[in-house]
Homo-oligomer: A and B are copies of this chain.
Amino acid sequence: MTDYTLLPIGHVESPLTNLADAPRQGDEGAPNAWLVIFPAYREALKDLTVGEDILLITWFDRALRDVLAVHPRSDPSRPVTGVFSTRSPDRPNPLGLHRVTILAIDNLRLHVNNLEALDGTPLIDIKPVLGDLSER
């Protein structure tokens, strides 16, 4: 029996506290933020380096899971679109995907740029950006 329960590995510390203020994507004026990682995951973190681009998977804990279609970018002039064709946080599994650059590392805290996730958002995973085949 598969267990589908996520274990947050940490959370986001950000000046963004209000959903209405959050940019739609990280490259649309999102602020820098800190990722605070739980001590249990120290070993998984040890090879991340300043300057590196990484992918974050977050859990949009304030999203609605029973929404299957939305107006993209909450723009009522755009036709209602299935959520699998949008980046809406409202979706069956409200996972966020973010590409950021590591600006600084302080023990279990990572400073990153351009993160549109709200303060307190649970962090689920960190993955490297895949380079060319020759670099793997």
Contact = CB atoms under 8 A, between A and B. Distances in A.
A41 B66 CA distance: 10
A130 B24 CA distance: 12
Interface residues of A, number: 49
A27 B8 CA distance: 29
Contacts of A130: 25, 87
A22 interface: no
Interface of A: 2, 4-9, 24-25, 27-28, 41, 43-48, 54-55, 57, 59, 61, 65, 68-69, 72-73, 81-87, 91-93, 95, 97, 122, 124-128, 130, 133, 136
Given A54-B84, A97-B97, 6 more contacts: A6-B6, A47-B85, A48-B82, A48-B84, A84-B126, A87-B128
